[in-house]
Amino acid sequence: MRVRCSQIGQHRGGAQVGSRRRIGNENGIGLGQLLAHRTRSQAQLYYDRGRIPADGGQSHDFALAWGQSRYRVVDSRAAQIVATTPAGTAGAVTVAVTTSGGTATSPAAFTYTSSTPPDPPPAFPPGAPIQVITESGDGRVTVSWAAPASTGSFPISTYQAVVSPGGQSCLVSVPALTCTMTGLTNGTAYTVAVRALSGAGWGALSPSSTPFTPAPVDTSILITGTRGDIRGRPGVIVTGTSTGLAGQQVAPWVKFPGQTSYTQGVVRPTVTAEGDFTWQRRTGKKIYVYFRGVDTDVRSQRIIMPKH
């Protein structure tokens, strides 16, 4: 804890100074080696407040002669004084203590040393991501990449992909290595570059990707059906192939003999990345089935599965 002290002049003002007796190690004032940083020019003194004579038995305030400067300690309940060292990197300073009751130490020289904190090591941002690949669609592009060969001085936290022209971008946090941007103009040629962020800042952008041009994607659904056992009972198994619907849901629409309209099925399969899906239903009846995209107007042909 630092002691609050105020620097005073080199005169003693009206304070009465009584007999000077040495308050040295035998009285517990510990003034040891002082450490001063050149950049801060400060030193710390430690002492035992319980062995400093009190003024009238109550006050432990005292004055410190620190070289050519004097400090008055106005709260000696702590055990530390922060003082300013003389100019220079190392040396000695004359120190003496005078209590408010008039008792003083004999002056003594105490050495101090300098310590220059080392310069922090340089911080390097991450390198540029590599292997930037794009997959464009209707007004959109999905970008993927590989991590840089070097992460620099700190771990990578974020990636940013930026398209040109237009400057649209997307941000993802690690460990993601892909992102999707929408709102692009169909028929316009774009490129994309990726950069990485760490505690040292943004790294360089990767080389631009191969140009890509967003365009509407043709969509289609083609289904086939077979009969088979489903959990021990007769059923219908429908397999489908599609284009332009990867990752989207498709819904079955079914009708049985005697019904006048189709009803949407509850189970909606999701199209795989390869464009495939499978749907099944337990029934031995004749059934009419077709599929339609949940988020699009594309639909398949109708198939008719005869009675089991």
pLDDT value, residue 217: 81
Q: How far apart are CA 274 and CA 240, in angstroms?
A: 11
Q: b/e per residue, 292-306, with b = 16+ CB within 10 A?
A: bbeeeebbbeeeebe
Residue 229, pLDDT score:
92
What is the reported pLDDT for 137?
87
Which range of 57-71, 111-125, 198-212 scores highest in mean pLDDT? It is 198-212
Q: For residue 188, tell me if it sits in a domain.
A: yes
Share of the chain above pLDDT 70, in %: 62
* 14/101 same-domain check: yes
Residues 9 and 93 in one domain: yes
Whether residue 66 has pLDDT greater than 90:
no
The verdict on 84 and 138 lying in the same domain is: no
CATH number at residue 225: 2.60.40.10
Q: What are the φ and ψ backbone dihedral angles of 26, each rounded to 5 degrees?
A: -65, -20
User: What's at 135, amino acid-wise?
Assistant: E
Residue 36: predicted pLDDT: 41
Which amino acid type is present at position 152?
G
Output the pLDDT for position 22. 32
Angle (CA) 100 97 62, round 5°: 30
Please report whether residue 213 resides in a domain. no
Per-residue model confidence (pLDDT) at position 129: 98
* pLDDT tens by residue, 279-293: 999 999 999 999 999
161 and 88 share a domain?
Answer: no
pLDDT tier for residue 80 given thresholds of 50, 70 and 90: low
The pLDDT assigned to 89 comes to 56
In this structure, is residue 122 part of a structural domain?
Answer: no
Instruction: Name the residue among 6, 93, 8 with its Cα closest to residue 43.
Output: 93
The number of distinct structural domains making up the chain is: 3
Q: Which of 114, 142, 177 is the last residue of a domain?
A: 114
Same domain, 110 and 46: yes
Give per-residue pLDDT as tens, 223-258: 999 999 998 999 999 999 999 898 999 999 999 999
CB atoms within 10 A of CB 185: 12
Per-residue pLDDT tens over the stretch 89-147: 566 666 666 655 565 555 655 555 565 566 788 899 999 999 999 999 889 999 999 99
CA–CA distance from 207 to each of 20, 42, 198, 227, 241 (Å)?
A: 80, 52, 19, 54, 37
Q: Does residue 193 form part of some domain?
A: yes
Per-residue DSSP letter, 74:
S
Report whether pLDDT(20) > 50: no
Query: Domain range holding 12?
Result: 5-114
On whether both 286 and 186 belong to a single domain, the answer is no
Assess whether 98 and 143 both reside in one domain: no
Q: Would you state the pLDDT for residue 84? A: 58
Mean pLDDT throughout 176-181? Answer: 96
pLDDT of residue 292: 96
Mean pLDDT of 252-265: 95
Report the pLDDT value the prediction gives residue 100, as an integer from 0 to 100.
57
More confident residue, 39 or 41: 41
| Beta strand segments in 76-231, E | 80-84, 91-99, 108-114, 130-137, 140-146, 156-164, 169-173, 178-182, 191-198, 201-202, 220-230
Rounded to two decimals, the pTM is: 0.47
Q: Are residues 184 and 237 in the same domain?
A: no
Instruction: Say whether both 24 and 108 belong to one domain.
Output: yes
Residues 144 and 240 in one domain: no
Report pLDDT for 97.
Answer: 62
